[in-house]
């Protein structure tokens, strides 16, 4: 069974009290219908429910009627109380049966309370009429008023408690309960933590690979050039050429070391901010990158870091693997959500489960954000991240 469209909360404008009162009275009527259904269905289907061979069919018939009554209750909650319940929320038969049983009992008790309230109102009218006609002494009237006020207070408190019970059991049936929401959140946090640990390990391996296969090899080559230069002291021209080559190699080592340092963490984020850090990504990229930055005010430091790495990884992938000739980066802050989009005109076919994009997804998920990758064959590739800033 699925709930109505919407989210697990009530509307921002609560319904008026006459509308809610009508919903309570209708709930009393539906509770009576539920009681009649349980009595009739129990009488007719009871023997079949006791026999194992006929039990599945009888239980199916029983649940068919219960489901219809539950749909009526859900419609009543939505129409008169403004409740909205999650989509695609499956409810077990046991949960529905328990809900309707509790709802029926609560509705019948509410009917008794409403009847007592109506009876008290009639007695108040009779008392007022007798008082106006002078048929009652004042000390009797005072006692009746005090007693009636106490009973009215208890009656209204009972109605309030029953209304709260009705709302709570509806939320538990048609939407996730607080315990379920807490359990889901714990599972999400556990999965996010494991993904972050994996992403950190993958990043460490990548840094080690960059240092070993890149910078270390260049340093070895530089040491060899310097050694050859020392041995060529008898040939000034050859020594000069080797020295120039060693100087160029040292410049390349510094450039690659600076690139690795930027991939680990860009210092421009702390000193200049996200916009300037993204400009640095554009300057270091081998293809044209156009950046549109629409953010007013400061962003949380974790959000800036995640946004930077989303752009850096997506632009690097576009330059290295997609054969793209242009990249467009859009960064905008809307309703306290930072939207980052990187679009290239490459050949597409990016694998969302690859190590780089998986690491980005874990980094974004750690901030309760989402990452979407749309990369059909033939392109274009669009990487979009939404990062909450609240």
Going by pLDDT thresholds of 50, 70 and 90, the confidence category of residue 7 is: very low
Q: Do 213 and 238 fall into the same domain?
A: yes
- Answer yes or no: is 69 within a domain: yes
* pLDDT value of position 105: 94
Helix/strand/coil (H/E/C) assignment for every residue in 31-100: HHHHHHHHHHHHHHHHHHHHCCCCHHHHHHHHHHHHHHHHHHHHHHHHHHHCEECCCCCCCCHHHHHHHH
Q: Do 317 and 357 fall into the same domain?
A: yes
Q: Do 260 and 275 fall into the same domain?
A: no
Q: Do 279 and 367 fall into the same domain?
A: yes
- Answer yes or no: is 362 within a domain: yes
* pLDDT value of position 12: 43
Residue 191 pLDDT > 90, yes or no?
Answer: no
Q: What is the distance between the alpha carbons of residues 238 and 233, in angstroms, rounded to a whole number?
A: 9
- Mean pLDDT in the chain? 80
Residue 2 pLDDT > 60, yes or no?
Answer: no
Q: Which residue has the tokens 């349980």?
A: 38
Residue 177 pLDDT > 60, yes or no?
Answer: no
Going by pLDDT thresholds of 50, 70 and 90, the confidence category of residue 265 is: low
Q: Do 116 and 49 fall into the same domain?
A: yes
* Between residues 42 and 189, the one the model is more confident about: 42
- Answer yes or no: is 348 within a domain: yes
Which residues partner with 388 through β-bridges?
337
* pLDDT value of position 37: 93
- Answer yes or no: is 192 within a domain: no
CB 159 within 8 A of CB 167: no
Going by pLDDT thresholds of 50, 70 and 90, the confidence category of residue 377 is: confident
- Answer yes or no: is 55 within a domain: yes
Determine the average pLDDT of the residues in 171-182. Answer: 71
Determine the average pLDDT of the residues in 12-24. Answer: 80
Query: Rounded to two decimals, what is the model's pTM?
Result: 0.48
Enter the tokens of residue 322: 């997609």
Q: Do 166 and 27 fall into the same domain?
A: yes
Q: What is the distance between the alpha carbons of residues 30 and 72, in angstroms, rounded to a whole number?
A: 8
Q: What is the distance between the alpha carbons of residues 248 and 255, in angstroms, rounded to a whole number?
A: 11
Q: Do 105 and 207 fall into the same domain?
A: no
- Answer yes or no: is 2 within a domain: no
- Answer yes or no: is 193 within a domain: no
Closest residue by Cα to residue 76 from 8, 121, 29 = 29
CB 381 within 8 A of CB 322: yes
Candidate from 133-147, 187-201, 240-254 with smallest mean pLDDT: 187-201
Q: What is the distance between the alpha carbons of residues 13 and 308, in angstroms, rounded to a whole number?
A: 39
Determine the average pLDDT of the residues in 144-167. Answer: 87
Enter the tokens of residue 42: 């129990």
Candidate from 60-74, 125-139, 156-170 with smallest mean pLDDT: 125-139
Query: pLDDT > 70: what percent of the chain?
Result: 83
**Preceding amide of 380 cis, omega within 30:** yes
Going by pLDDT thresholds of 50, 70 and 90, the confidence category of residue 308 is: confident
* pLDDT value of position 216: 73
* pLDDT value of position 260: 66
Q: Do 238 and 279 fall into the same domain?
A: no
* pLDDT value of position 1: 43
* pLDDT value of position 20: 87
Domain of 83?
A: 9-176
Residue 8 pLDDT > 60, yes or no?
Answer: no
Please count the structural domains in the chain: 3
Going by pLDDT thresholds of 50, 70 and 90, the confidence category of residue 168 is: confident
CB 11 within 8 A of CB 91: no
- Which DSSP symbol is given to 389? -
């Amino acid at each position: 069974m699925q709930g109505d469209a919407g989210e697990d909360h009530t509307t921002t404008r609560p319904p008026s009290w006459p509308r809610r009162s009508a919903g309570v009275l209708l709930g009393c009527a539906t509770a009576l219908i539920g009681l009649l259904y349980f009595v009739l269905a129990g009488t007719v289907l009871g023997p079949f429910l006791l026999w194992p061979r006929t039990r599945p069919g009888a239980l199916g018939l029983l649940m068919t009627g219960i489901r219809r009554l539950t749909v009526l209750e859900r419609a009543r909650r939505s129409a008169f109380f403004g409740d909205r319940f999650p989509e695609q929320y499956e409810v077990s038969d046991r949960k529905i049966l328990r809900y309707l049983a509790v709802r029926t009992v609560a509705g019948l008790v509410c009917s008794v309370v409403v009847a007592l309230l109506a009876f008290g109102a009639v007695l108040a009218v009779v008392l007022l009429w007798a008082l106006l006609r002078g048929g009652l002494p004042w000390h009797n009237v005072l006692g009746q008023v005090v007693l009636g006020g106490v009973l009215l207070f208890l009656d209204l408190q009972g109605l309030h408690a029953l209304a709260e019970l009705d709302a709570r059991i509806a939320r538990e049936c048609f939407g996730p309960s607080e315990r379920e929401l807490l359990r889901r959140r714990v599972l999400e946090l556990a999965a996010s933590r494991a993904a972050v640990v994996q992403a950190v390990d993958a990043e460490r391996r990548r840094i080690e690979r960059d240092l070993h296969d890149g910078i270390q090899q260049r340093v070895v080559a530089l040491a060899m050039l310097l050694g050859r230069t020392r041995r060529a002291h008898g040939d000034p021209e050859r020594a000069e050429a080797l020295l120039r080559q060693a100087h160029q190699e040292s410049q390349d080592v510094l450039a690659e070391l600076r690139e690795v340092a930027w991939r680990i963490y860009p210092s421009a984020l702390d000193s200049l901010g996200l916009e300037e850090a993204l400009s640095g990504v554009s300057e270091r990229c081998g293809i044209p990158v156009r950046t549109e930055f629409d953010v007013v005010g400061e962003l949380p430091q974790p959000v800036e870091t995640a946004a930077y790495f989303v752009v850096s990884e997506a632009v690097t992938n576009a330059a290295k693997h997609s054969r793209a000739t242009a990249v467009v980066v859009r960064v905008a802050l809307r309703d306290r959500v930072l939207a980052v989009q990187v679009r290239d005109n490459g050949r597409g076919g990016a694998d969302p489960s690859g190590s780089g994009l998986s690491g980005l997804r874990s980094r974004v998920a750690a901030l309760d954000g989402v990452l979407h990758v749309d990369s059909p064959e033939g392109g274009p590739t669009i990487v979009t991240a939404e990062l909450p800033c609240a």
